[in-house]
């Protein structure tokens, strides 16, 4: 189960948070007694200022797959969008207060980062293409913030999804925390069923989110508490131009969502083994496989099979010296928190975290630009001397 159960991890700073069920134990953060260090996310490179808003969505058509007694599926999503004006709107925290208190309790030698987005800022004029993001199994929606902010700064509305009871913790309005709720680890067949359940839930979460975005464009407010939406958000999304990317099981989710929902025109799988009906059925729209140094179609049968059934534009890239978790914010945050480099190698490889972000941003943006905006230049056509770390596999 490469890139799914075994690699699930959460950022732990100061005091270790409980590892998710089925997860490999994360490296322990050093306690040095030094003054508090503020962790910093990479600065986005685009010209657009960024606004953000979180929504509590309830799908009354299906029960929660992990807690069947909960007859309606509840998720949290977050929109990141080009902002018209950010003056007077505070910078958004990287994670919600309840989650921050768990993973970074009082007395920690570090302070969690703030994002470059401003909570509730009015949306910029114009209709912007939409990009969906699904994190890895057992990982929260904020794990890809460095990539998400980059896209938003270049004029995209990006929607990140917390898959409740799969994510370590999801905080809902009022401070309610829903923990990860998964079956105990068992035999391989049981683990396969866990992944199948998670994938189906994630696909349904994503398609439901798309429906709610359409409701916003029609002037409705789908937030369960009816909290005010940012000014201009109703007219900010061009839902005729939608792409999706994800890490690990989130990448598999992107592929399966594309198979089931033609609203998604292009997709990116970052280092995730693929499962579901899409593997044999394939896709007729653009798809990118972006792998770590230890993961490509030569050693992942699901990638090999999917590749053979991709009938639209396709590309496979591999990021040299990277690891599975290199496609998350943790690659830049954990070194700042004092985690020894040697402890990071198994999950993150030896690539510098900031450089990894720079390279990924360039290729993710180029791919989405090409298929949603018919731009993006020639970066995807051949290897670039600007980014020698990115190997062209197929």
The band of 184, judged by pLDDT with boundaries at 50, 70 and 90, is: confident
Tokens of 241: 């131009």
- Class in CATH terms, 37-392: alpha beta
List pLDDT tens digits, range 233-267.
999 999 999 999 999 999 999 999 999 999 999 99
Question: What is the residue whose two structure tokens read 């040697």?
Answer: 342
Question: Is the separation of the CB atoms in 130 and 242 below 8 Å?
Answer: yes
Tokens of 393: 């596999």
Tell whether the model's pLDDT for residue 26 goes beyond 60: no
> What is the model's pLDDT at position 18?
32
Pairwise CA distance, residues 48 & 64, whole Å: 37
Tokens of 292: 């770590």
> What is the model's pLDDT at position 224?
98
> What is the model's pLDDT at position 70?
96
Tell whether the model's pLDDT for residue 4 goes beyond 60: no
Residue percentage of the chain with pLDDT more than 90: 84
Closest CA to 348 of 375, 372, 322: 322
Least confident of 5-14, 200-209, 237-246, 339-348: 5-14
> What is the model's pLDDT at position 115?
98
> What is the model's pLDDT at position 334?
96
Tell whether the model's pLDDT for residue 182 goes beyond 90: no
Between CA 96 and CA 19, with CA 104 as vertex, the angle to 5 degrees is 90
> What is the model's pLDDT at position 35?
65
Burial class (CB in 10 A: 0-12, 13-18, 19+), 50: buried
Please give the average per-residue pLDDT across 286-304, as a whole number: 89
> What is the model's pLDDT at position 372?
97
DSSP letters, 65-129, are SS-TTS-SEEEEEEEEEEBS--TT-PEEESS-HHHHHHHS-TT-SEEPPEEEEEETPPBPSS-EE
Q: Strands, E, within the chain: which ranges?
A: 37-38, 50-59, 73-82, 91-93, 110-111, 114-119, 128-134, 157-162, 169-172, 176-179, 237-247, 266-270, 287-291, 314-319, 390-392
> What is the model's pLDDT at position 296?
67
Between CA 24 and CA 35, with CA 30 as vertex, the angle to 5 degrees is 140
The band of 16, judged by pLDDT with boundaries at 50, 70 and 90, is: very low
The whole-model pTM stands at 0.91
> What is the model's pLDDT at position 105?
87
Residue 330: phi, psi to the nearest 5?
Answer: -60, -25
Tell whether the model's pLDDT for residue 65 goes beyond 90: yes
Pairwise CA distance, residues 319 & 167, whole Å: 26
The sign of the torsion formed by the CA atoms of 95, 99, 104, 107 equals positive
> What is the model's pLDDT at position 79?
98
> What is the model's pLDDT at position 12?
39
Question: What is the residue whose two structure tokens read 């599975």?
Answer: 324
> What is the model's pLDDT at position 187?
65
> What is the model's pLDDT at position 31?
39
Tell whether the model's pLDDT for residue 393 goes beyond 80: yes
Tell whether the model's pLDDT for residue 71 goes beyond 90: yes
Tell whether the model's pLDDT for residue 9 goes beyond 60: no
Please give the average per-residue pLDDT across 109-137, as a whole number: 97
* Angle between helix 353-368 and helix 145-153 axes, rounded to 10 deg: 50
List pLDDT tens digits, range 74-89.
999 999 999 999 999 9
> What is the model's pLDDT at position 108?
86
Mean pLDDT of the chain: 90
Please give the average per-residue pLDDT across 287-291, as a whole number: 98
Please give the average per-residue pLDDT across 288-302, as a whole number: 87
Tell whether the model's pLDDT for residue 23 goes beyond 80: no
Least confident of 8-22, 141-155, 157-171, 367-381: 8-22
Question: Is the separation of the CB atoms in 311 and 287 below 8 Å?
Answer: no
CA atoms within 13 A on the CB side of 89: 22
Question: Is the separation of the CB atoms in 57 and 79 below 8 Å?
Answer: no
List pLDDT tens digits, range 328-381.
999 999 999 999 999 999 999 999 999 999 999 999 999 999 999 999 789 999
Question: Is the separation of the CB atoms in 162 and 170 below 8 Å?
Answer: yes
């Amino acid at each position: 189960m490469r890139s799914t159960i075994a690699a699930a991890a959460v950022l732990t700073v100061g005091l270790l948070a409980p590892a998710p069920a089925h997860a490999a134990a994360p490296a322990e953060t050093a306690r040095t007694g030094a003054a508090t260090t503020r962790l910093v996310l990479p600065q986005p490179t685009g010209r657009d200022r960024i606004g953000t808003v979180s929504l509590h969505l309830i799908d009354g058509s299906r029960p929660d797959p992990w807690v069947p007694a909960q007859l309606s599926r509840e998720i949290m999503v977050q929109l990141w969008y080009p902002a018209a004006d950010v003056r007077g709107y505070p910078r958004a925290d990287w994670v919600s207060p309840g989650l921050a208190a768990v993973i970074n309790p009082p007395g920690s030698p570090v302070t969690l980062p703030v994002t470059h987005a401003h909570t509730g800022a009015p949306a910029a004029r114009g209709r912007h293409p939409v990009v969906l993001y699904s994190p890895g199994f057992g990982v929260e929606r904020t794990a890809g913030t460095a990539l998400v902010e980059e896209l938003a700064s270049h004029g995209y509305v990006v929607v990140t999804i917390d898959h409740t009871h799969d994510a370590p913790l999801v905080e809902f309005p009022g401070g309610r925390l829903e923990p990860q709720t998964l079956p105990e680890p068992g035999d391989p067949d049981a683990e396969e069923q866990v992944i199948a359940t998670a994938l189906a839930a994630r696909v349904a979460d994503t398609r439901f989110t798309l429906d709610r975005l359409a409701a916003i464009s029609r002037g409705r407010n789908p937030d369960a508490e009816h909290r005010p939406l940012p000014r201009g958000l109703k007219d900010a999304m061009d839902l005729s131009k939608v792409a999706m990317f994800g890490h690990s099981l989130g990448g598999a989710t992107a592929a399966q969502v594309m198979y089931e929902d033609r609203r998604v025109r292009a997709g990116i799988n970052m280092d995730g083994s693929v499962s579901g009906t899409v593997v044999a059925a394939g896709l007729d729209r653009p798809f990118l496989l972006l792998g770590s140094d230890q993961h490509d179609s030569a050693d992942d049968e699901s990638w090999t099979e999917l590749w053979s059934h991709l009938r639209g534009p396709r590309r496979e890239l591999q990021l040299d010296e990277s690891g599975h978790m290199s496609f998350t914010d943790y690659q830049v945050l954990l070194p700042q928190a004092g985690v020894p480099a040697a402890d990071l190698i198994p999950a993150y490889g030896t690539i510098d975290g900031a450089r990894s972000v720079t390279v990924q941003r360039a290729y993710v943006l180029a791919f989405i630009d090409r298929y949603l905006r018919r731009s993006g230049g020639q970066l995807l056509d051949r290897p670039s001397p600007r980014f020698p770390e990115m190997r062209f596999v197929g």
